[in-house]
Amino acid sequence: MIDSLDVSYGDMWGSYEGPAHPAPMPSSLAARRHAAGMSYAVLLSLRERPLALVERWPRGRWRLYLFDDASRRARMIDFEPLGTDKLLEVRNTRLKASDEQGDEAGAEPGEARSPARVPHCPAPAFGDWQVFVPFLAQQGHEPAATVVLNDVSVEEGAGPLRPTGIERLFVPGPRDTPDGPAVVELTDAGMLRITSGQMAVTDPGFLSDPRIVAVPPGEYPVTLSLLRTARSVEVAAARVTFLDTPPHAWKMTLRSDEDPGLLGEDEFYGVGVDSGTVAFMDATRAVDDEMVDDEVLDEQVFAPLSFVDRSSVELPGSEGGPNLVAFSAGRGDGTYPVWTGRTEEGQAVCVVIDFRLHPTDQEMEIFGGTGPSPA
């Protein structure tokens, strides 16, 4: 009889198979995500053997996976909200063949069985995982009437990605990297013209969801930091400068609906890149409408940047109007942190995109470190 289970938390598993979380998180972070309606996963284990994985999905939905003796996910049970305080079991599917007691005789993988005779259970508050313990019987386990849940989740870490070494990205000179010696070179990418008082950071091929920083209208210099190795020259960082003064503090550039308190250790919100290119531009009037259609972008932005010796390009607007300064995004598509340097009074000094080509001190010590993670 099972009278005690270990509880741990992590990101959603996706297609991952294993006995423990691929990306564990502290219980405090999972609780904040629960309160915000965000996704996370709960693992119920018995002496390091996984028995159940509970996934919290958006809009009040839950999914429960039950494991077999080989620590494989053998059954999937989906729940939908029923009113405000109950869950309705809507699907119960056998995923893998198993000889375990408790499986239906003759059931085939992928076959859905009928929900339980009373197909609903209480909707759990955070930490109330007793709700899902009775379902362990479907894999032949015998849970006690009350099971003690022991929180074995990881400790609270250092929190979201921190803006360390941002200024150093723009100090020219030699560097050591895991790939060998390199040199940082700075290059001028032109002047960015802002007329609306709002600057956007975005992939120029996908303008619908930029990161926006309020700045005074004007023209501002754009500087690229290039990392030159024996094999290549890549854009390591880009900066647009509004004030000729050192930043008092660096802040992650957030949208209004983003909360850094919901980020795990070394995670960040950043600019998404799908065209291999990032741009600084005016937020409310990027450039003349006819200048941002696909054909113009292909001919005047993406094609020029495909040349090895070209790292940036300007797409001009109408006379006196805003322009667009685009540049290659490090090693291509991905998500990259955007930092705003601010004065003590909160004025924007500069905006920097870090394409994460420079290894952290820890990554230099531990070859092959993965670096920070986007949210």
Predicted confidence (pLDDT) per residue in 91-143, tens digit: 999 986 544 444 444 445 555 555 544 568 999 999 999 999 999 999 999 99
Phi/psi-derived region of residue 309, left when phi > 0, alpha when psi is between -120 and 50, beta in every other case: alpha
Environment class of 181 (CB within 10 Å of its CB; exposed 0-12, middle 13-18, buried 19+): exposed
Q: What is the largest CA-CA distance in the chain?
A: 78
Nearest Cα neighbor of 234 from 100, 125, 355 is 355
Q: Which contacts (CB < 8 Å, 24+ apart) does range 15-23 have?
A: 17/72, 17/73, 18/71, 19/45, 19/48, 19/49, 19/50, 19/71, 20/45, 20/48, 20/50, 23/264
Percent of the chain with pLDDT over 90: 61
More confident residue, 375 or 331: 331
Residue 43 has pLDDT above 80, yes or no: yes
Structural tokens at position 147: 């099971």
Residue 273 has pLDDT above 60, yes or no: yes
Tell me the chain's radius of gyration from C-alpha atoms.
26
On average, the pLDDT of the chain sits at 86
What does the DSSP 8-state code read for residue 157?
-
| d(C-alpha 190, C-alpha 251), whole Å | 25
Reduce the DSSP state of residue 335 to 3 states and report it. strand
User: Residues with Cβ < 8 Å from 119, sequence gap 6 or more?
Assistant: 88, 89, 90
Are the C-beta atoms of 51 and 139 separated by less than 8 Å? Answer: yes
User: What phi, psi does 24 have (nearest 5°)?
Assistant: -70, 155
Give the Å distances, CA to CA, from 361 to 6, 158, 178, 273, 339: 35, 15, 11, 26, 20
Residue 292: per-residue pLDDT: 61
Query: What is the pTM assigned to this prediction?
Result: 0.69
Residue 180 has pLDDT above 90, yes or no: no
Residue 120: per-residue pLDDT: 82
Domain boundaries, the chain: 2-151, 167-374
Lowest model confidence (mean pLDDT) among 32-36, 70-74, 125-129, 201-205: 201-205
| d(C-alpha 210, C-alpha 206), whole Å | 8
Beta-sheet pairing, 324-328 with 233-241: unpaired
Lowest model confidence (mean pLDDT) among 5-19, 74-88, 100-114: 100-114
Give the Å distances, CA to CA, from 219 to 116, 214, 279: 66, 14, 15
More confident residue, 208 or 35: 35
User: What phi, psi does 297 have (nearest 5°)?
Assistant: -60, -45
| d(C-alpha 236, C-alpha 356), whole Å | 7
Reduce the DSSP state of residue 213 to 3 states and report it. strand
Confidence of residue 32 (pLDDT cuts 50, 70, 90): very high
